[in-house]
């Protein structure tokens, strides 16, 4: 991690939150945890362009937890909304109709369903056009708002509302899809690792162009665990190597917190109701081993 960060240790993190409380999110929402931490660094000089998902219910008339601005669009087109806002701000700046201090960071905020699937075409095009925006995806690995059905981000073996025997497919690699577009920046973060997260937001804000912040969002409601365990689930996602913390810059991917030694994936899986069928009534050694092998393969390749 570069020396220019103002976040050297935990004590450097903001001690009060900028994002208001009392929202409609569930207790223990890992997406909201990450958003709090992101917003503290990002600040209120921003406009959040949102896609349909749990977080759409952050701003419910006449309340909003944001100190800055907000625009809800649709499930598929938040990146296009960001394009319109950015283009308009640029036009106003160029014409002298908007003083530079009135300019805003344009932020897209969507779930995985939008980011990996319905909105991927709009995202790909926005990156290709070089849109100057920050894309925050809170990845709860399913269509959470509609009751946690399988999405393109659902991991292998997880039970969802549409895969009661466990998902047979494998999670799509959105980070790699972004990297293939050669964006200005892409990083994975998790609320349970706030220092790593803060440094990445800090870095992203210094850059211009398309930037991804992909936050794994432990979801007590959809994943089936007690709200108080969100941080523990998040830590284990990183420690087990299931969720690699990394960043992409200038064509290179760097792991910012490679776990060693790695905890067995079963420690991570066992905490969550969506994987309970892998342990009870009979242990499904084959599936657990498959998941472990996939994680091992990833880290071998990551060198």
Residues that bind other proteins (CB under 8 A): 44-45, 47, 49, 56-57, 59-61, 64, 66-74, 76-77, 79-85, 87-92, 98, 101-104, 121-122, 124-125, 129
Q: Which residue has the tokens 């207790």?
A: 27
Q: Please tell me whether residue 201 binds ligand TPP under the rule CB under 6 A.
A: no
Cβ distance to Mg ion smaller for residue 160 or 240: 160
Contact of 111 with 53, CB cutoff 8 Å: yes
- Pick the binder of ligand TPP from 54, 126, 187, 215 (CB under 6 A): 54
CA 269, chain centre distance (Å): 20
User: Which among 240, 41, 237, 57 is positioned nearest to 145, based on CA atoms?
Assistant: 57
The CA-based angle 138-141-142, given to 5 degrees, is 105
What are the structure tokens assigned to 164, written together?
A: 């009661």
Between 53 and 259, name the residue whose CB sits nearer to ligand TPP.
53
Give me 107's structure tokens: 């932020």
Restricting to residues 110-169, which ones interact with ligand SF4 according to CB under 6 A?
140, 144
Between residues 46 and 160, which has the closer beta carbon with respect to Mg ion? 160
Give the containing element (helix H, strand E) for 197: helix 194-206
**Beta carbon of residue 178, minimum distance to ligand SF4 (angstroms, whole number):** 21
Q: Residue 69 Cβ, how far from ligand SF4 at the closest point, in Å?
A: 22
- Site for ligand TPP, residues 56 to 95, rule: CB under 6 A: 75
* Distance between CA atoms of residues 88 and 107, nearest Å: 14
Nearer of residues 144 and 194 to Mg ion, judged by Cβ? 144
144 interacts with ligand TPP by CB under 6 A: yes
26 lines the binding site for ligand SF4 (CB under 6 A): yes
Interacting residues with ligand SF4 between 194 and 253 (CB under 6 A): 217, 219-222
User: What does the alpha-carbon distance between residue 166 and residue 155 come to, in Å, rounded to a whole number?
Assistant: 9
| Cα dist from 119 to 81, 189, 206, 301, whole Å | 11, 21, 26, 29
> Which are the contacts of 180, defined by CB distance < 8 A and separation ≥ 6?
none
**Minimum CB distance to other proteins, residue 23 (Å):** 12
Query: What is the binding site for ligand SF4 (CB under 6 A)?
Result: 25-26, 29, 31, 54, 140, 144, 217, 219-222
């Amino acid at each position: 991690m570069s020396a220019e960060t103002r976040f050297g240790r935990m004590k450097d993190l903001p001690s009060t939150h900028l994002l208001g409380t009392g929202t409609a999110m569930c207790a223990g929402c890992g997406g909201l945890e990450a958003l709090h931490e992101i917003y503290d660094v990002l600040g209120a000089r921003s406009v959040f362009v949102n896609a349909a998902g749990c977080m759409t219910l952050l701003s419910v008339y006449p309340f909003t937890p944001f100190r800055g601005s907000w625009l809800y669009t649709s499930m598929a087109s938040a990146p296009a909304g960001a394009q319109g806002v950015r283009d308009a701000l640029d036009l106003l700046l160029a014409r002298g109709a908007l003083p530079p201090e009135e300019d805003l960071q344009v932020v897209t905020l969507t779930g995985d369903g939008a980011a990996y699937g319905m909105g991927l075409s709009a995202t790909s095009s926005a990156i290709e056009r070089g849109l100057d925006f920050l894309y925050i995806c809170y990845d709860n690995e399913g269509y959470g708002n509609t009751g946690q059905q399988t999405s393109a981000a659902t991991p292998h073996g997880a039970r969802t509302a549409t895969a009661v025997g466990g998902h047979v497919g494998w999670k799509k690699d959105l980070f790699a899809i972004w990297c293939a577009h050669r964006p200005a920046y892409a990083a994975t973060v998790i609320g349970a690792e706030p220092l790593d997260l803060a440094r990445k937001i800090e870095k992203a804000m210094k850059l211009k162009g398309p930037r991804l912040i992909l936050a794994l969002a432990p979801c007590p409601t959809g994943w089936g665990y007690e709200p108080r365990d969100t941080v523990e689930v998040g830590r284990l996602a990183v420690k087990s190597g299931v969720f690699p913390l990394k960043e992409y810059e200038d064509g290179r991917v760097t792991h910012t917190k490679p776990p060693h030694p790695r905890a067995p994936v079963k420690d991570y899986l066992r905490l969550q109701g969506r994987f309970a069928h892998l342990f009870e009534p009979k242990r499904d050694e084959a599936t657990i081993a498959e998941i472990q092998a996939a994680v091992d393969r990833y880290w071998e390749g990551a060198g």
